[in-house]
Amino acid sequence: MIPALLISITLHELAHGYVAYLLGDNTAKVNKRLTLNPIRHIDFIGFILLLTVGFGWAKPVPINPNNFKNKKEAFLLFLLQALYLIYFSL
């Protein structure tokens, strides 16, 4: 169970950073969050709660909407991508 959680959390957060990068924001890349290393994405308290209570969280990927090429459309696409990831990760 733990390897599956680590993989899903890592891929989920990597996808957030990668989509932001494709939309013109390199904040996640600069902060070394475009990686498959789960240590970069795991929040210790959130992960422990996920294992014990069934509810938890990961470290949010930093983004800067001011770096998006087309701010309004890109931010909307980023939010829709986040909803898509949440829906299909359940």
Mind telling me the catalytic residues? 13
Q: Which two tokens stand for residue 81?
A: 């991508």
Contacts of 44 (CB under 8 A, 6+ apart): none
Residue type present at position 16: H
Q: Which among 40, 47, 45 is positioned nearest to 14, based on CA atoms?
A: 40
The C-alpha angle 9, 18, 56, rounded to 5 degrees, equals 20
